[in-house]
Amino acid sequence: MEAHTATRYFQPIEMTNAERLEVSVLMDGLKDAHLLPENINLGQFVAECYARGKNEYMKELYRKD
């Protein structure tokens, strides 16, 4: 393995059935508004939401420095 090769680790995001339903409804609404690709699945959408949220937290930390 080369030193510049990145390894990605995926941890499952635990959600209740109610949370899954809420996220699914949101995802369907975003697809209907053409703000998400039609072929994205729930797992991909949840991972994208996590990444966007993480980036927002990182921005907040940067602003406080």
- Tens of pLDDT, residue by residue over 16-64, are 899 889 889 989 998 999 988 999 999 898 888 888 887 787 787 777 6
Give residues with Cβ within 8 angstroms of 45, minimum separation 6. 23, 27, 36
- Residue 6 is which amino acid? A
Radius of gyration (Cα) for the chain, nearest Å?
15
C-alpha to C-alpha distance for 21 and 24, rounded to whole angstroms: 5
Q: Which residue has the tokens 């966007």?
A: 52
Paired tokens of 58: 């990182």
User: Residue 5 has what pLDDT?
Assistant: 65
User: Residue 51 has what pLDDT?
Assistant: 82
Question: Is residue 27 a contact partner of residue 42, using CB atoms and an 8 Å limit?
Answer: yes
